Chain A
Amino acid sequence: RKEVEQDPGPFNVPEGATVAFNCTYSNSASQSFFWYRQDCRKEPKLLMSVYSSGNEDGRFTAQLNRASQYISLLIRDSKLSDSATYLCVVQGGKLIFGQGTELSVKP
């Protein structure tokens, strides 16, 4: 089993759609969780940290379920500029990156 596993993509959605990405992790001792965004051929950048109680940043909502070892990212009202690859990242000692889920938002 992979340490961090994400939904295989790509996700192709129209502008204005709501889209959800899922991620599971294998190490129950993991302590910190993040979503990073990576634009094509660019470096990853932090999108948001994920807290136990769930957290929201504008159109983005992140949830953590420790019992199921599962993280999610919800994007509401998708914009063209949201097109990117979204990386689930888990820290249990070192940061472990998922393989990423590609999102393409179409007009």
Chain B
Amino acid sequence: NAGVTQTPKFRILKIGQSMTLQCTQDMNHNYMYWYRQDPGMGLKLIYYSVGAGITDKGEVPNGYNVSRSTTEDFPLRLELAAPSQTSVYFCASSRDRAGETQYFGPGTRLLVL
């Protein structure tokens, strides 16, 4: 099993550009999550999904969108990049309820200039 994979590893965007961060898991997990981590800070939940076709907002959803058309994939979309979105983005998955162990992808480092 590859676990949770994310692409790209690193990206530089100009203000106002759009991009999609890809996340795929091969563990047949129902729950998937997107977090951002700013330097010296904890992870903040952006969006999560409890299964295909179901998504919900987390703590910091503004400026982002998600979709969950399959169990495996959970892409995160940035429509109009802003410098405040410079961060490291982690995708994670867990088998069932949110209290289960979460498995994280390697992260995407995003710089918005």
Contacts and interface: CB of A to CB of B under 8 A. Distances in A.
Contact of A95 (B41, B45, B90): B45
A46 B106 contact: no
B61 interface: no
Given A91-B98, A93-B98, A94-B58, A44 B48 contact: no
A44 B43 contact: yes
Given A43-B90, A43-B107, A44-B90, A100 B99 contact: no
B69 interface: no
B53 interface: no
B104 A43 contact: yes
A34 B90 CA distance: 18
Given A43-B90, A43-B107, A94-B58, A32 B42 contact: no
A60 to B, nearest CB: 16
Nearest to B56: A94
Interface residues of B, number: 18
Interface in B59-113: 90, 98-99, 101-102, 104-107
A97 B42 contact: yes
Interface residues of A, number: 21
Q: How would you classify the secondary structure of chain A's contact residues: helix, strand, loop or mixed?
A: strand
Nearest to B48: A94
Contacts of A62: none
Contacts of B98: 91, 93-95
Contacts of A31: 99
A51 B41 CA distance: 25
A100 B42 contact: yes
Interface in A27-71: 31-32, 34, 41-46, 49
A3 B101 CA distance: 20
Q: Which 3 pairs, one residue from A and one from B, show the smallest C-beta to C-beta distance?
A: A43-B104, A97-B42, A32-B99
